[in-house]
Amino acid sequence: MTQVFTLPDLGEGLEDAELVRWLVRVGDTVAVDAPVAEVETAKAMVEVPCPFAGVVAGLHAEAGDVVAVGAPFVTVEAAEPAASGSGNVLIGYGTSDAPVTGSGRRALRRAAALREHRDPEPAPVTPVTASPTHPGPVAVASPVVRSLARTHGVDLRTLVGSGPDGLVVRADVERAVRGTAPTAVEPAPGTVGPATPDGPGTAPAGTELAASPRPDVVRDERTGLAIARRVPLRGVRKAVTTRLTRSRQEIPEATTWVDVDATRLVALRAELATPDRPAPGLLAILGRFVVAGLARFPELNARVDVEGEEIVHLEGVNLGIAAQTDRGLLVPVVHGAHALRTRALDAEIRRLTTAAREGRATTADLAGGSFTLNNYGVLGVDGSAAIINHPEVAILGIGRLLPRPWVVDGEVAVRTIAQLSLVFDHRVCDGGTAGGFLRFVADAVEQPTSALLDAADL
């Protein structure tokens, strides 16, 4: 029996995913729920399990392709359908008889639409193979490697990997950028690539470069400048664009800020360090203050149901932590942050941000936040009017901690000062509520021992 496995919805209504690499080849035998590919969605790196058992007869994409949800992904020659009781069920497909809801319905509708446009008789499956002009899937393990290649416009399929089993590693991409890497194929005529001693972009020894513009240079229609490269708007960057655009279109946001004296907070953190237990991070301590503040000002721990014309207030806090990564801005979420004390919150923040930066964060790690905390001070800036992480209604940021002159008891002293900024949705509250929350957090930063004692945290 020939069965075609279509790409499922990998979470929260995602519409497509970029194929990073195949984990199987045509002719391989796969078991039910065995991973067959690694894909990169707008949320995270995901291994895709196949719901069918049998022999792989066809692979319908190549590394680097963007595959739509519901499109054919893998063809399997199977003796029988997948057995019930499968463990790795993804949204939009599976082996249980449970009803499909929400984003799963969207995936099924998309798959049905694709089936309606297919020929009555299925075309024979052509395995994906490499050729001298179209190399096959490349083995790339690290998201950092893919990000570096995209940044410099390097086609990974043209590289010869120096890692185990031909794995393309960072050094291979860096050599390609310098123009010293061996390639699997020659660039097509007219392709702009790294300059080599006798390659495009260099002149033979003893000659001068022509002063006139090169006729083969593609120029921007608006500015007339040469186009250096084009970066596809997809994956994380596409998700960020969509979410932030929607945030600015839907949310009437306002920003308020305050400078705080964090001298005592820095000193308290140093006191919390012991020989066998490092001190919790400042972000974790600030997170505790945020959770306590949201308990007093619950309007900021909510979301707006536009269709239902309601403000939905939430019990408990799922605290998002904005993290800059090689894949772009990600917001891993500490679920149930209100139930964690400072050291536990610190451990979870470190685990999640590390996973996000290494490309190991799951879709669950990156979803479901109710309030976001942003430490833009690590970027070397003092303030920011951040964009709210839709559909949340507020985001709190902290800038650099710097020594500055500050009036204490009528005298000028050098203190550690930082700026807190709160961006909030004016639909859920007015400035009094937002200012009250911000002042609560600021007071806690300036008197951290009392704030933590009130939270039974010490």
Average pLDDT over residues 135-161: 69
Contacts of 415 by beta carbon, 8 Å cutoff, 6+ apart: 261, 263, 403, 404, 405, 406, 408
Query: For residue range 301-335, what is the model confidence (pLDDT) as tens digits?
Result: 999 999 999 999 999 999 999 998 887 889 999 99
pLDDT of 185 above 60: no
Query: At 153, is the secondary structure helix, strand, or coil?
Result: coil
Query: For residue range 222-276, what is the model confidence (pLDDT) as tens digits?
Result: 888 988 888 887 777 777 788 889 898 999 999 999 999 999 999 999 998 888 8
Contacts of 440 by beta carbon, 8 Å cutoff, 6+ apart: 289, 292, 293, 296, 297
Helices 143-152, 170-178: crossing angle, 10 deg rounding: 10
Predicted confidence band of residue 107 (pLDDT cuts 50, 70, 90): very low
Specify whether 426 is catalytic: yes
Q: Which residue among 134, 152, 313, 426 is the active-site one?
A: 426
Pick the CATH number of 2-116 from 3.30.1490.20, 3.30.1330.40, 3.30.1380.20, 2.40.50.100: 2.40.50.100
CATH 4.10.320.10 segments of the chain? 143-178
* C-alpha–C-alpha distance, residues 34 and 50, integer Å: 6
CATH level 2 (architecture), domain 236-454 = 2-Layer Sandwich (3.30)
Give, rounded to a whole angstrom, the gap between the first and last alpha carbons of the chain: 63
Q: Which residue among 430, 443, 454, 457 is the active-site one?
A: 430
Predicted confidence band of residue 36 (pLDDT cuts 50, 70, 90): very high
Predicted confidence band of residue 208 (pLDDT cuts 50, 70, 90): very low
Contact (Cβ atoms closer than 8 angstroms) between residue 62 and residue 22: no
Predicted confidence band of residue 78 (pLDDT cuts 50, 70, 90): confident
pLDDT of 61 above 50: yes
pLDDT of 126 above 60: no
In terms of DSSP bridges, do strands 16-22 and 323-325 run parallel, antiparallel, or are they unpaired? unpaired
Pick the CATH number of 143-178 from 4.10.320.10, 1.10.760.10, 3.40.50.12280, 1.10.10.10: 4.10.320.10
CATH 3.30.559.10 segments of the chain? 236-454
pLDDT of residue 32: 87
pTM metric for this prediction: 0.61
Torsion over CA: 395, 399, 404, 408 (sign)? positive
Angle at 221 between CA 218 and CA 224, to 5 degrees: 70
CATH 2.40.50.100 segments of the chain? 2-116
